[in-house]
Amino acid sequence: MKKRLLAILVCVAFAAVALFTTAVWAQKTKSGEVADTLEIFETAVFTKHKKSAVVFPHKKHSVDYKIACTECHHNYKDGKQVWKEGDKVAKCGTCHKSPKKNDGKMLSLYNAFHKNCRDCHKKAKKGPTKCAQCHPKKK
């Protein structure tokens, strides 16, 4: 009898831990849920990859480093930035559709990511700026 009770308690404990960790691993934002850490590996635009996926700690950036959503998320209407917290977030590659070469004024996805990520780190003198720090392996 005692054994059975113990088994039930163990199950309940596991279930509680599982619930708790999923709650912690997904950041709830006004624009929807996003994993605390993303692995960026765009396949719709980068049909061939030279580099490995990039680990991006989303929650650290938006919560711990207090970087505004609009440093990274935007949408333009008649040249004006109109995206605000609560609006849907589209993947960068939805709009930055060209893989490597800019399409007129529109940055390629390659340039959009590097301009956003690397240029901020360079300016802040914090965060990774070397290829291998973001792309740890060749592929």
Q: How far is CA 88 from CA 34, 84, 137, in A?
A: 12, 9, 32
Mark the segment that binds ligand HEC (CB under 6 A) among 8-16, 17-25, 110-118: 110-118
φ, ψ of residue 114 to 5 degrees: the values are: -70, -35
Q: Which of 14, 41, 84, 136 binds ligand HEC (CB under 6 A)?
A: 41
- Kindly tell me which of 8 and 39 has the beta carbon lying closer to ligand HEC: 39
How far apart CA 91 and CA 89 sit, in angstroms, is 7
What is the smallest separation between the CB atom of 99 and ligand HEC, expressed in angstroms?
A: 7
- Kindly tell me which of 17 and 85 has the beta carbon lying closer to ligand HEC: 85
**Which single residue is written with the structure tokens 């929650």?**
59
What is the smallest separation between the CB atom of 12 and ligand HEC, expressed in angstroms?
A: 32
84 binds ligand HEC (CB under 6 A): no
| Cβ proximity of 39 and 46 under 8 Å | no
